[in-house]
Amino acid sequence: MDIPKFHPDSRALVKQYLTPAIYKQLSPLETPSGFTLKAAIQSGLKNPDSHIGIYAGDALSYSVFSRILDPIIHAYHAVGKTFEHSPDLDQTGLDQPSLAPLDPGKDFILSCRVRVARNLSEFCFPCHIHSRDRARVASLVFDAVKKLPQELAGSYLSFNDLSPSQMQDHLTRKQAFPKGDRFQDAAGINRDFPDARGIFASQDNNFMIWVNEEDHLRIISMEASADLSGVFNRLCRGLGHLSTQLEFAFDKRYGFLTSCPTNIGSAMRAGVHIRLRKLEKNKGILEKLTAQYQLQIRGTGGEKTSVEKGIFDISNKQRLGIPESLIIQNLHAGLAAIIEAEKSL
């Protein structure tokens, strides 16, 4: 039984850890919903530049295929062999009043955004979901958002209701999300797009839920300010309400279960868009600080985009085995140090 051939240049974690012995053991297996190793690694096989190269098709993929997923999780999340995840989210958010203002002069931080990924425990994940269940997910979210409190209340836009030109218009105004990238495409996540996809947005657009993108739900709190704790606390309030309506896939070891194993644990990315004109020319200092505070630099267009006009997207790298409030506090401390460095140059 030969391991499928990854591209010779591929440095994907799945290629590094999929030994002949693990392949032999896992290739005949399937989860009760019928998800296989072959399906899980399609993205890595088809994309030689994958960093990870594997997706989970359902919650049980994490146990059935643990012999390949665990080493990848250890390597990516830098956790020991006996990791676990205890979330500390509740409706109040950070229990201290708030974090010190990061950028009172409004000189650097353009916006803050905190998102979590969630999947409904009852259904397969997007790369393996049946179209009927995808529609069911959308309908459950549609019902749940009707019960949000006034502060978060808003409207649900189903992409099914948009003509191609309306969809394009919404994409331009960032009121819709596009079809996933080629990594998601190879995994099967884009099937039937834009069917059963949609976005819930609060009236002020500060609280949103993307439905049936890479995960069933991407719950997002954001605003054009430097108020990181305010943004996080709003996310906690929204999530608290949604958790009373929806049952999320969760495991004591892996935390919240997501399509991509890089997102498990808190499944949270908290970040800012920040203008750093001086550090842009002194990237070594910026990289040292981001490494010290376990932060990640991305382009402002998201995953695998480049930095433009000195505006960086800086967010947490750690997601697994760290409580959510600590992620926010570490990000806050890292940003304070980065702003100090920028000022001193």
Active site residues: 115, 214, 218, 260, 262, 269, 298, 303
Phi, psi of 231 (to 5 degrees): -65, -40
Residue 238: CB minimum distance to ligand CIR, A:
21
Residue 53 sits in the site that holds ligand CIR (CB under 6 A): yes
Residue 51 sits in the site that holds ligand CIR (CB under 6 A): yes
Nearer to ligand CIR, 55 or 83 (CB): 55
Beta bridge partners of 272: 112, 314
295-315 residues labelled b (16+ CB within 10 A) or e (exposed):
bebbebeeeeeebeeebbbbb
Residue 43 sits in the site that holds ligand CIR (CB under 6 A): yes
Amino acid at 118: R
Cβ(82)–Cβ(70) under 8 Å?
A: no
Cβ(111)–Cβ(223) under 8 Å?
A: yes
From 130-138, 199-207, 259-267, 275-283, give the range in contact with ligand CIR by CB under 6 A.
259-267
Residue 214: CB minimum distance to ligand CIR, A:
6
Residue 263 sits in the site that holds ligand CIR (CB under 6 A): yes
Q: Give, as one character, the DSSP assignment of residue 66.
A: H
Cβ(142)–Cβ(156) under 8 Å?
A: yes
One of 10, 36, 50, 229 touching ligand CIR (CB under 6 A): 50
C-alpha distances in angstroms, 63 versus 22, 36, 59, 111, 172? 14, 12, 8, 38, 40
Residue 266 sits in the site that holds ligand CIR (CB under 6 A): no
One of 260, 276, 320, 338 touching ligand CIR (CB under 6 A): 260
One of 65, 83, 123, 183 touching ligand CIR (CB under 6 A): 183
One of 262, 266, 290, 325 touching ligand CIR (CB under 6 A): 262
Q: Mark residues 279-318: x for contact with ligand CIR by CB under 6 A, - for none.
A: ------------------------x---------------
Q: Where are the alpha helices (DSSP H) in the chain?
A: 13-17, 20-26, 37-40, 42-46, 61-64, 66-77, 131-145, 164-172, 182-187, 228-243, 283-292, 324-344
Contacts to ligand CIR by CB under 6 A: 43, 50-53, 183, 260, 262-263, 303
